[in-house]
Amino acid sequence: MNTPKEVISIVSQLALNKGKYKVNKTLVLAFLAGAYIAFGGLLAIVVGGGTPGIAATNPGITKFLFGAMFPVGLILVVVVGAELFTGNNAYFIPTILNKKQPIKEMFKNWGLVYFGNFIGAVFVAYVITHLTHIVSASPFIDSVHGIAIGKTSHTFLVTFLKGIGANWLVCLAVWQGMAAKNTMGKMVAIWLPVMTFVTLGFEHSIANMYFIPLAIFEGADITWTTFIVKNLIPATLGNIVGGVLFVGMPYGYLFGKSKL
């Protein structure tokens, strides 16, 4: 297993590499990451959302089943390689703290990756899920609508705070994945924190780029404006705080002083 110092060294080198990617490479990798997260969301809906009987008597089990399926998306991002906005919220912080990378490279990456993630997630929502009618029948359609309505019913502050919790755990999952030295170890290390945040009902902006547009395509009484204002903006801001303040900064400060 890689030590925390070794993980920061890996993270820092990755951040330097990401900062030098050409725009088209970043966008393609971001599209793929958005799609991978969406695939995890679809699997979670089919397995977790397909158990209304269990949900009626033991909702915790249904939430766990939903959470247990979702991590396949982040596992693909890390193992196969793709650009995910939420993970990148933490990647760049150690190199910026130690003045090894200009902050403009981080903001450029974040902007391109966020856009690419959105396109990838919505593509899977519309083309791969909606047009194929995978979730158009009960109980899946009920789950799709329920998820989206729940996510757009919180106050700005609640969604923001849930966004912090989500990306705190997502970035820890990425960190743990880099601590592991083999594929199975990476998969388990990523699965645990991601399963936790999804089961607890935290808000992940990129996942919500799939869940809520899918519900809109499937006829939920939610507008795009409601999605963006009531969920996407506060979830994104919370994700940034969770990744930067609770993972990138403390670990960059504590272990980022060694040479790359």
pLDDT of 234-246, one tens digit each? 999 999 999 999 9
For position 257, what pLDDT does the model report?
74
What residues make up the domain containing 16?
4-254
Task: Name the token pair of 96.
Answer: 């910026």
In a domain, 259, yes or no: no
pLDDT of 206-240, one tens digit each? 999 999 999 999 999 999 999 999 999 999 999 99
In a domain, 225, yes or no: yes
User: 97-101, 143-147, 152-156, 159-163: which has the minimum mean pLDDT?
Assistant: 97-101
CATH code for position 102 = 1.20.1080.10
Q: Read off the DSSP letter of residue 232.
A: I
Task: Name the token pair of 71.
Answer: 């991590």
Number of domain units in the chain = 1
In a domain, 223, yes or no: yes
- Over the range 28-60, which residues count as b (16 or more CB within 10 Å of their CB) and which as e? bbbbbbbbbbbbbbbbbbbebbbbeeebeeeee
pLDDT of 157-193, one tens digit each? 999 999 999 999 999 999 999 999 999 999 999 999 9
pTM, full prediction: 0.96
pLDDT bracket for residue 260 (50, 70, 90): very low
Query: Distance between CA atoms of 209 and 202, rounded to whole angstroms?
Result: 14
The four Cα atoms 213, 215, 219, 225 give a dihedral, to 10 degrees, of -40
In a domain, 260, yes or no: no
